[in-house]
Amino acid sequence: MPIKESELILNPDGSVYHLNLRPDNVAKTIIFVGDPDRVEKVTCHFDSIEFSTQKREFKTQTGYYKTKRITVISTGIGSDNIDIVLNELDALFNIDLQTRKPKKELTSLNIIRVGTSGSLQKEIPVNSVLVSEYGLDINGTLQFYVTDKISHSNIENAFINQTNWSKNKSNPLAIKSSEKLFKIFSNKNTYKGITVTANGFYGPQGRMLRLPIQDPEINSKLEHFYFENLKITNLEMETSGIYGLSALLGHHAISLNAIIANRPSGTFSENPSKVIEDLILYALNKIVEQI
Ligand SMILES: O=P(O)(O)O[C@H]1O[C@H](CO)[C@@H](O)[C@H]1O
Ligand SMILES: O=c1cc[nH]c(=O)[nH]1
């Protein structure tokens, strides 16, 4: 049965609904950034750009960095947007948009997030780079999918017990990064760990301005969480969604975090642009050399 028009929505020009992209606009290696202005901070290093478009917060450019065709797309803020971006990107490659049927031969994408994040460990300072070994979803997006084959219940149960996680919050899901990409992007200078993906920047990341939060001790609990040799290292808003949907759809994903805040010491980078710029170049060169 073809997928109905209300489920897979195409624009009059045949592009997918939110991203405004057609299959030939997108490379198989895709860099995700949050901020639409960060797209050009990546593509300014390209040798050529063949395609650009933007709809809402989703800005896309495709071109060549050295010998490699790469697409850069901004996802905006939050896992709700990741749900849109990953489903529509996957549709571009793995659903025949004419017949509206899934293809028999599926394409696996390489997805590299270049994002910013706040460290939860004193010894992971601002201006460092962290590669997320796991994404821990506390925002509920992945709970709408069937995740039992990709989630790690031993980590999730340890998390619920150690944090005395409220039943009123969505159940956490722990999802592993792509082993292939983790090996490529981590090195002796990068940190690694469990990245918690929250559904907000303030209360959901333990920040209190004027409003009290349900668990004022949550960040200290995250900081002290352990499971075997794993620690929770940082907080941001997209990684677990990218890991979960990529794993379910058969794509490889890795999340690279420029650490711009250190929550236990209360510090913020004096020059966040520099660590992001360095991370962009690091990611581009690894892609060309090893993907
Ligand atoms: O720098 P980006 O990629 O946007 O990532 C982080 O910054 C935003 C919050 O300021 C959230 O999207 C968070 O995940
Ligand atoms: O603390 C931080 C810093 C960047 N992005 C986040 O989501 N949290």
Pairing status of strand 58-65 against strand 68-74: antiparallel
Atom 1, ligand 2: residue with shortest CA distance: 118
Q: How far from the centroid of its chain's Cα atoms is residue 81's Cα? A: 10
Q: How is residue 74 written in tokens?
A: 């901004």
Pairing status of strand 230-236 against strand 110-119: antiparallel
The residue type at 228: E
Can you give the pTM of this predicted structure? 0.99
pLDDT, mean of residues 88-115: 98
Give the containing element (helix H, strand E) for 267: strand 267-268
Q: 155 near 218, Cβ under 8 Å?
A: no
CB crowding 147-186: b at 16 or more within 10 Å, else e? beebbbeebbebbbeebebeeebbebbbbbbbeebbebbb
213 — pLDDT class (breaks 50, 70, 90): very high
Please tell me the predicted confidence (pLDDT) of residue 226: 98
Q: 2 near 241, Cβ under 8 Å?
A: no
Pairing status of strand 95-96 against strand 101-102: antiparallel
pLDDT, mean of residues 55-83: 98
CB atoms under 10 Å from CB of 221, counted, come to: 17
Please tell me the predicted confidence (pLDDT) of residue 129: 98
Q: How far apart are CA 236 and CA 241, in angstroms?
A: 11
DSSP-derived secondary structure letter, 1:
-
Please tell me the predicted confidence (pLDDT) of residue 201: 98
Atom 6, ligand 1: residue with shortest CA distance: 116
Is the CB–ligand 2 distance for residue 126 below 6 Å? no
Atom 5, ligand 2: residue with shortest CA distance: 117
Pairing status of strand 129-137 against strand 173-176: antiparallel
> What are the CA-CA distances from residue 180 to residues 15, 110, 189, 236, 254 (Å)?
31, 10, 18, 23, 9
Pocket test for ligand 2, best of 77, 81, 219, 260 (most atoms within 8 A of CB): 260
Is the CB–ligand 2 distance for residue 34 below 6 Å? no
ipTM score over 0.95, yes or no: yes
What would the pLDDT profile of 238-281 be if each residue is shown by its tens digit?
999 999 999 999 999 999 999 999 999 999 999 999 999 999 99
41 — pLDDT class (breaks 50, 70, 90): very high
Please tell me the predicted confidence (pLDDT) of residue 103: 98
Q: How far apart are CA 267 and CA 13, in angstroms?
A: 48
Could you give all domains of the chain from N- to C-terminal order, each with its CATH number?
23-290 (3.40.50.1580)
Pocket test for ligand 1, best of 74, 75, 237, 280 (most atoms within 8 A of CB): 237
Q: What is the CA radius of gyration of the chain?
A: 19
Is the CB–ligand 2 distance for residue 260 below 6 Å? yes
The Å distance, Cα 160 to ligand 2 centre, comes to 22
Give the containing element (helix H, strand E) for 87: helix 79-94
Q: 27 near 69, Cβ under 8 Å?
A: yes
What would the pLDDT profile of 135-168 be if each residue is shown by its tens digit?
999 999 999 999 999 999 999 999 999 999 999 9
174 — pLDDT class (breaks 50, 70, 90): very high
Q: How is residue 31 written in tokens?
A: 């860099």
**Which residues have CB under 8 Å from 106's CB, separation 6+?**
93, 94, 250
